[in-house]
Amino acid sequence: MSRASSAASLFAALGDETRLQLLHRLSSGGPGSIARLSEKSKVTRQAITKHLEVLADAGLVHSARQGRESIWALDPARLAEAHQALDQISAQWDVALERLRQFVEK
Amino acid sequence: MSRASSAASLFAALGDETRLQLLHRLSSGGPGSIARLSEKSKVTRQAITKHLEVLADAGLVHSARQGRESIWALDPARLAEAHQALDQISAQWDVALERLRQFVEK
DNA sequence: AACGTACGCAACCAAATGGTTGCATTTCAA
DNA sequence: TTGAAATGCAACCATTTGGTTGCGTACGTT
């Protein structure tokens, strides 16, 4: 993760309700086929496929063909990196907020 | 922040390099006019204005007209909320990662 | 062998995005 | 009061995005 340059693309990948739901589904329910991941969704299977590909481009998930279905799962390594990226942004904002707080108190 | 529903729009607002730079600039350099915020950017002043408006829609910044210039600054309250949203996602992923780790070890 | 299931691929579409240019307006300063 | 500075507003443009439908293909199952 080349700090800041790819943070934007990480956020962009997370910037969609359907994709957040997919991530949540994968992180709480474990790996699943496209069909199963599409089950409770309002959009079509192909739409889900596209979203999964976006998440894959961001490195957050990956897939493996198994028979006639392709199983998608979270990618632990990249997810951990993304986790850190989020923490860094949070930390940066902490500093900003602290600065603002002190400014107001003066 | 209506949990999860608006997390996506928060991430969407953060999903652009120029906007992340603006946030970084505002959090490290304090409030500034559009002209000053546009100074080191490659895109035009109007592009910067649009990005600031996107950030404003996400509640992350706000502006106030001062004479002939409009001054933009971080919005502490919403920034803190966003901070928490990020932390929650991180926490969710922590659980997922731990689950994955245990699964692998078996 | 034949049928249903699970996908992949491609074309297509509307709307949103990120950007530009041109011009009008407001405001500060000489 | 006149000119430059700082924005705002609007039109326009290319690309991306999120979604669809239709059809082909591969794989299990019976």
Residues of A in contact with B57 (CB under 8 A): none
Mean pLDDT (whole number) for A62-72:
97
Q: For chain A, what percent of residues have pLDDT higher than 70?
A: 92
Question: What is the pTM for the complete model shown?
Answer: 0.89
The tokens for A37 are: 């991941």
Mean pLDDT of chain B: 88
Distance between the alpha carbon (CA) of B26 and the C1' atom of C27, Å: 25
> Is residue B81 within 8 Å of residue A12, measured between CB atoms?
no
Distance between the alpha carbon (CA) of B84 and the C1' atom of C13, Å: 38
Which bases in strand D are touched by protein, i.e. have an atom under 7 Å from a CB? 5-11, 17-22, 26-28
Residue B72: what are its φ and ψ, rounded to 5°?
Answer: -110, 140
The tokens for B83 are: 């901070």
Of residues B83 and B23, more confidence is placed in B23
Where does residue B59 fall: left (phi above 0), alpha (psi -120 to 50 degrees), or beta otherwise?
Answer: left
What is the distance of C-alpha A20 from the center of its chain?
6
| Token pair 């986790």 in the structure block, residue | A83
> Which of A2-11, A53-62, B44-53, B94-103 has the least mean pLDDT?
A2-11
pLDDT at position B91 over 70: yes
pLDDT at position A56 over 70: yes
What pLDDT does residue A47 have? Answer: 98
> Is residue B93 within 8 Å of residue A79, measured between CB atoms?
yes
> Is residue B43 within 8 Å of residue B91, measured between CB atoms?
no
Closest nucleotide to B67: CA versus each C1': C27
Give the integer Cα–Cα distance in Å for B77 and A104: 13
DSSP result, A1-68: --TTTTHHHHHHHH--HHHHHHHHHHHHH--EEHHHHHTT-SS-HHHHHHHHHHHHHTTSEEEEEETT
What pLDDT does residue B103 have? Answer: 66
Write out pLDDT tens, residues A15-31.
999 999 999 999 889 99
Of the residues B2, B9, B17, the best mutation for testing chain A's interface (the one with the most A CB atoms within 10 Å of its CB) is B17
Give the integer Cα–Cα distance in Å for B74 and B56: 9
Mean pLDDT (whole number) for B39-52:
97
Nearest to B100 among A14, A17, A76 (CB): A76
Q: Which residues contact A46 (CB under 8 A, 6 or more apart)?
A: none
What pLDDT does residue B87 have? Answer: 78
Write out pLDDT tens, residues A2-19.
444 578 999 999 999 999
Nearest to A12 among B15, B24, B83 (CB): B15
A51 falls in which pLDDT band (50, 70, 90)?
very high
Give the integer Cα–Cα distance in Å for B55 and B28: 17
- Is B70 in a helix, a strand, or coil? strand
Write out pLDDT tens, residues B62-72.
999 999 999 99
pLDDT at position B39 over 80: yes
B16 falls in which pLDDT band (50, 70, 90)?
very high
